[in-house]
Amino acid sequence: LRDKFNVVFKTNTKVFGNHEPPKDEGDHFIKNTVNLKDIVEQSDAVLITTGTWQSRRLKIPGENGPSVMSAVEYLYEIRAWEKGLLDHHPHVGDRVIVIGGGLSAVDAALEALEQGAKEVILAYRRTKKQAPAGIYEINSLIRKGVKWMELVSPVEIVRKNEKVKGIKLQKMKLGEPDESGRPRPIPIPGSEFVLEVDTVIEAVGEIATPPLVNDFLGIKLDRKNRIIVDEHYRTTNPKVWAAGDVVTGPSFIGNAVKTGLYAAKSIHIHLSNKLL
């Protein structure tokens, strides 16, 4: 892109609105912050593709402290370390539990296994059949040595002197479909039990991270913090488009690329009409 199309890359730079930007996972290398308003004012068209760089939290007792991390944080720091960009990488203990059933959970479990953990458990509140990663990926992980535990949900991370000693799980049963179309997991009263672990990796979804708050520059966000666009991926500001996970929420890379291509086509038509 740089050599063939003279694209200018400005690295180590975070773009945000008029106030202090939130801390997102992946902010390790930021040296500069640029105001989105300046970019929009100086450009004929702007495309926002900032993705989902904030992990959902379990919001349970014991979550805040050492040896509990998000899958995004864990995987990102390992990859950055492998490329020589960090002088350290996150370590896991002997008994690791990964909470979630998506591809981030699968990747984190496999990485923990490769790091030398003696036992890695992947725990999910529904069954293998409903796991977003798919039955094939889950079965592949099991064959590699990861233990699969379904129909459980965490209620507390057990600590002693700040160290993780275990996780309290509650058994679940499946009920009627929820808004996602999958059976709703329902807690079974009195079914709690404690599992001995020393590391907890949370992989329960990511949140869209637009470089603005709702209605900044007239750009609207929905209740899930995603940028609202029309069928041409144009936002409620006529100079700004958006595409990828910041519009759809977490998705597969193919879908993100597709929306980016559609948005680029829309921008091309817009700029061509301006020239005419």
- Taking only the tens place, the pLDDT of each residue in 108-142 is 999 999 999 999 999 999 999 999 999 999 999 99
pTM beyond 0.85: the answer is yes
71 and 175 co-located in one domain: yes
Q: What is the largest CA-CA distance in the chain?
A: 70
User: Lowest-confidence range among 5-9, 158-162, 179-183?
Assistant: 179-183
* Res 276: pLDDT: 58
108 and 88 co-located in one domain: yes
Look up the domain containing 238 and give its range. 2-53+208-275
30 and 156 co-located in one domain: no
196 and 82 co-located in one domain: yes
8 Å CB contact between 95 and 118: yes
Amino acid at 40: V
144 and 222 co-located in one domain: no
223 and 194 co-located in one domain: no
* Res 121: pLDDT: 98
Residues 6+ apart with CB under 8 A from 261: none
218 and 265 co-located in one domain: yes
Residues 6+ apart with CB under 8 A from 109: 96, 98, 120, 122, 141, 146, 201
Amino acid at 184: R
8 Å CB contact between 246 and 49: yes
pLDDT tens for each residue of 244-272: 999 999 988 999 999 999 999 999 999 99
Residue indicated by tokens 């979550």? 63
232 and 194 co-located in one domain: no
The helix (run of H) or strand (run of E) holding residue 57 is: none
